[in-house]
Amino acid sequence: MNVKKLVVGAMLVIVGLPVALILTVVVSVAVLDRSNGTIVSSGRPRSYLLYVPPSYDRAKPTPLVISLHGAAGWPAQQMNLSRWNRLAETQGFIVVYPSGSDVPKVWHVDRGGGLMHDVTFISALIDTLEAAYNIDRTRIYANGMSIGGGMAFVLSCTLSDRIAAVGMVSAAQSLAASWCTDPRPVPMIEFHGAADPIVPYGGGPLRDPFNPATVMFPAVRDWVASWARRNRCGTNPVESAVAADVSRIEYTHCAQDAAVVLYTIRGGGHSWPGGKPLPQWWVGPTSRSVDATSEMWAFFRAHPLRGN
C-alpha cells in the first residue's frame, strides 16, 4: 500500500477548513506531540512516550503493552484516544506509545524498505525497555488504531517470537494475508465500525477522490477469517450479541489456543470504542456500548506467549 495515500485520505477533510483553523491544527500537533524517550534505530532518532504505573515493582515481571497511533497521529494522541494509562494504573502493566516516522507520522505497512525500519525500531524499543524494567517476556502485546492496527499485523508476523498477541481498532489492512509466512499462530482481537468512513467494513477503496481506487482494503470479516485460517482455528465461529449495536464473533479450537475475535459496531465509525471521541463529522460515531481497551486487555491476559 502507498502509505502516503492513506495519510492523505485520512486528512482530506482538513483541506476544506478555514486557513486559521488549519494553522490551529498544525500548531496543536506541534505542541501536543510530546515524548519522553528517544533511541537511535536504523541510523535515525526514534521517539516514544512511556507510561510506568506508580505500582510498578522491579521485583515483579511486568507486562508491556505497545500501542501504535494511526496515520497522521502521534504518541500522546494515541494515549488520550485509547486511555490505556488508566487501565495500566489499576492492572499494573507498562504502556509505551511509539512514534511513527515522516511528516505527518506514519507506519510503513507496505512492502517498501520503511517497513523493516519500523520493525527494527519496535524490536529495539522492546530491548531498551527490557534493559530498564523487569518486563515479563511472555506478556508483550501490540495494538493499534487504523494504520497502527496494520502495523500490529506486521509485528505479529515479523516479531512473533516476542509479541504474545495483538489488538486492532479500525485496522487499515492492505497487505495480503498471504504476505505473512510466519508459522506461529498469534491471538488477535479486532474492533471495527460497520459505518467506518475511512476503512470500509465491507472492503473496497480508501475514500480518497485524489487517488480513487488506489488503496484497496479487504472486507473485515474476510480478513478476520483469513487470520483464523492462519491460526488453524475451527471453521465454525461463535457469534453473540454484546449490546444492541455490538456483535462478537470468536474463532475457537485454534492451534496453541490462539483465538481470533472480531467485535462489529453497528453504525460505528473510524473510532476507538469506549475511548476519547474524535470529531463525528470526520470519523463517524464513537460507540460507548463496549470498551475496546478493557476488552483487549482481558484478551491479552488470557493469551501469554506460548512455546511452539
Q: Residue 306 falls within a domain, yes or no?
A: no
- Decide if 110 is inside a domain: yes
Alpha-carbon dihedral 90, 35, 274, 203, rounded to 10 degrees: -140
| Confidence (pLDDT) at 208 | 54
Instruction: Answer whether residue 308 is part of any domain.
Output: no
Length of the chain: 308
Q: Is 56 a domain residue?
A: yes
Alpha helices in the chain (DSSP H): 3-11, 19-32, 75-82, 84-91, 113-132, 147-158, 220-230, 280-283, 292-301
Picking from 128, 120, 127, 195, the residue whose alpha carbon sits closest to that of residue 151 is: 120
Q: Which domain holds residue 11?
A: 3-301
pLDDT for res 103: 83
Number of domains, the chain: 1
pLDDT at 34 over 90: no
Find the mean pLDDT for residues 137-162: 97
DSSP code per residue over 61-121: -EEEEEEE--TT--HHHHHHHH-HHHHHHHHT-EEEEE--BTTTTB---SSSHHHHHHHHH
Within a domain: residue 116?
Answer: yes
Residue 250 lies in a domain: yes
The stretch 248-268 carries a mean pLDDT of 98
For residue 126, tell me if it sits in a domain: yes
The confidence band for 307, taking pLDDT boundaries of 50, 70 and 90, is confident
What CATH code is carried by the domain that includes residue 185? Answer: 3.40.50.1820
pLDDT at residue 8 in the model: 45
User: Is 156 inside a domain boundary?
Assistant: yes
pLDDT of 95 above 70: yes
Compute the average pLDDT of residues 226-245: 97
